[in-house]
């Protein structure tokens, strides 16, 4: 049952990406292209995606987190760190360059697989390789002093 | 470049759906709807027994366009301008950076900002700035 629910949630997320236009890399790149503002080619739509998503999540989280526990789990797994370490800047900087190159971030890239284009498969294969590499490096013993040993990937 | 039209209503509605999904995942599993974290944990090393749920979520993401095509007979516009080399380099950087930085647009940008996380705010500003700088260099620096 929990598995089916998570499939349905992924489906809603994917539909949101499609309805919002985020599943179209051209739209994402035109949003990131602030140099296109003078020429009128800048597409501000994605600011509205963010606004809608954050508004709903902000209200929803505050309600849900008042519950004693999640429906299918024993407790909530919330990130607890608040320190600004080099990784919280370096990682997003690297990700941002990749995002700006192709116009895909991880969610829309996965949803793009369902569109059936070869380009999406190439991007996702490379993305998965990058993810595996990052986890491998993060778990590398000599580097664990840079990360929280319990969960190197904690948000 | 391919020009796209400004779609504030559709984008807002899509954003609301994304938010609903994030809230539902927190309600159901108690976890952040961060796509990079979910996707990365489909690969070893496995730290918990949540593989099936994560796989189901990703399957849902992939199934969305399949379902839309079945029901409506068509798909929304999708233009991928990048060539093979750019796709590979962009994919590697996106995968590595999002995991190295503990999250992507969904984990930091949607869930993190909604939780008023300072780390997520720093991450979101950084990847937006890096993305904008990259597009600027690609399109206007020649």
Q: What pLDDT is recorded for position A140?
A: 77
* Domain stop point among A78, A112, A142: A78
Per-residue confidence band for A144, with pLDDT thresholds at 50, 70 and 90: low
Average pLDDT for A22-28: 97
Q: Which residues contact B36 (CB under 8 A, 6 or more apart)?
A: A95, A106, A131, B95, B98, B99, B103, B104, B106, B107
Q: Give the per-residue pLDDT at A146.
A: 54
Whether residues A67 and A100 fall in one domain:
no
Q: Select the residue of A55, A134, A138 nearest B19 (Cβ to Cβ).
A: A55
Residue A110: pLDDT band (50, 70, 90) is very high
Q: pLDDT tens, A56-96?
A: 999 999 999 999 999 999 999 999 888 999 999 999 999 99
Average pLDDT value for residue range A118-137:
96
Q: Is the dihedral of CA B111, B113, B118, B121 positive or negative?
A: positive
B137 pLDDT higher than 60:
yes
Domain boundary among A60, A78, A96: A78
Are A66 and A133 part of one and the same domain?
no
Q: Minimum mean pLDDT among A80-84, B60-64, B82-86: which range?
A: A80-84
CA distance A142 to chain B (A): 16
Distance from CA of B73 to the nearest CA of A (A): 12
- Tell me, what's the pLDDT at B49? 85
Q: Which residues of A51-73 are buried (b: 16+ CB within 10 A; e: fewer)?
A: bbbbebbbebbeebeeeeebeee
pLDDT of residue B46: 86
Asked whether residue A95 falls in the same domain as residue A136, the answer is yes
Interface of B with A in 73-132 (CB under 8 A): 75-82, 84, 86-115, 117-120, 122-124, 126-132
**Cα pseudo-dihedral A97, A102, A107, A112, rounded to 10:** -170
With 0-12 CB in 10 A as exposed, 13-18 as middle and 19+ as buried, what is B88? buried
Kindly report the pTM of this predicted structure: 0.94
Q: Is the pLDDT of residue A11 over 60?
A: yes
Same domain, residue pair A64 and A121: no
Mean pLDDT across chain A, nearest whole number?
91
Mean pLDDT of A94-118: 97
pLDDT of B1 over the 90 cut: no
For residue A94 the two structure tokens come to 């690297």
Residue partners of A17: CB distance under 8 A and separation at least 6: A23, A107, A108, A111, B14, B18, B61, B64
Domain range for A106 is 81-155
Please give the Cα distance from A53 to A50 (Å, whole number). Answer: 5
Instruction: Region of A150 please: left (phi>0), alpha (psi -120 to 50) or beta.
Output: alpha
Q: In this model, does residue A147 exceed pLDDT 70? A: no
Give yes or no for residue A152 having a pLDDT over 50.
Answer: no
Query: Cα separation of B91 and B97, whole Å?
Result: 10
Task: Tell me, yes or no, whether A43 and A87 share the same domain.
Answer: no
Query: CA torsion angle for B95, A112, B76, B20 (degrees, to 10)?
Result: -70
Note the pLDDT of residue B47.
Answer: 81
Q: Which of A103, A110, A127 sits opposite B61 (nearest CB)?
A: A110
Distance from the Cα of B15 to chain A's closest Cα (Å) equals: 4
Point out the domain boundary residue: A52, A78, A104: A78
- Report the C-alpha gap between B47 and B77 in whole angstroms: 38
CB A57 within 8 A of CB B111: yes
CA–CA separation, A121 and A137 (whole Å) = 24
Asked if the model's pLDDT at residue A102 lies above 80, the reply is yes
Contact B15 A5 (CB under 8 A): no
Residue B13 clears pLDDT 80, i.e. is over it: yes
Shared domain for A59 and A104, answered yes or no, is no
Q: Are residues A137 and A85 in the same domain?
A: yes
pLDDT for B142 beyond 50: yes
Tell me: pLDDT of B51 over 80: yes
Number of domains into which chain A is organized: 2
Mean pLDDT of B112-133: 97
Considering the domain architecture, whether residues A149 and A120 belong to the same structural domain is answered as: yes
Q: Where are the alpha helices (DSSP H) in chain A?
A: 2-20, 25-32, 45-64, 87-102, 106-113, 118-138
User: What residues of chain B lie within 8 A of the CB of A77, using their CB?
Assistant: 30-32
Q: Are residues A47 and A120 in the same domain?
A: no
């Amino acid at each position: 049952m929990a598995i089916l629910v998570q499939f349905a949630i992924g489906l809603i997320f994917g539909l949101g990406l499609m309805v919002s236009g985020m599943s179209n890399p051209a739209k994402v790149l035109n949003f990131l292209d602030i140099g296109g503002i003078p020429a009128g080619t800048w597409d501000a739509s994605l600011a509205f995606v963010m606004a809608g998503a954050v508004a709903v999540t902000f209200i929803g989280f505050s309600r849900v987190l008042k519950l004693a526990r999640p429906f299918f789990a024993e407790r909530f797994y919330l990130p607890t760190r608040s320190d600004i370490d080099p990784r919280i800047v370096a990682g997003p900087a690297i990700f941002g360059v990749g995002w700006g190159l192709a116009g895909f971030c991880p969610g829309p890239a996965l949803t793009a697989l369902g569109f059936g284009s070869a380009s999406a498969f190439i991007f996702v294969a490379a993305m998965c390789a990058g993810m595996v590499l990052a986890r491998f490096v993060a778990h590398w013993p000599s580097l664990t002093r840079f990360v929280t040993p319990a969960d190197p990937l904690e948000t | 470049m391919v020009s796209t039209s400004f779609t504030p209503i559709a984008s807002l509605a899509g954003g609301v759906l994304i938010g609903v999904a994030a809230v539902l995942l927190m309600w159901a599993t108690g976890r952040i709807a961060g796509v990079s974290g979910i996707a990365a944990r489909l690969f070893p090393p496995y730290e918990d027994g949540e593989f099936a749920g994560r796989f189901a979520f990703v399957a849902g993401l992939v199934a969305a366009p399949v379902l839309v095509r079945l029901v409506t007979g068509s798909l929304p516009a999708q233009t991928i301008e990048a060539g093979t080399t750019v796709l590979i380099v962009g994919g590697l950087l996106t995968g590595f950076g999002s995991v190295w930085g503990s999250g992507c647009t969904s984990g930091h940008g949607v869930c993190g900002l909604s939780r008023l996380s300072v780390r997520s705010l720093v991450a979101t500003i950084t990847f937006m700035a890096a993305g904008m700088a990259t597009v600027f260099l690609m399109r206007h620096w020649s």
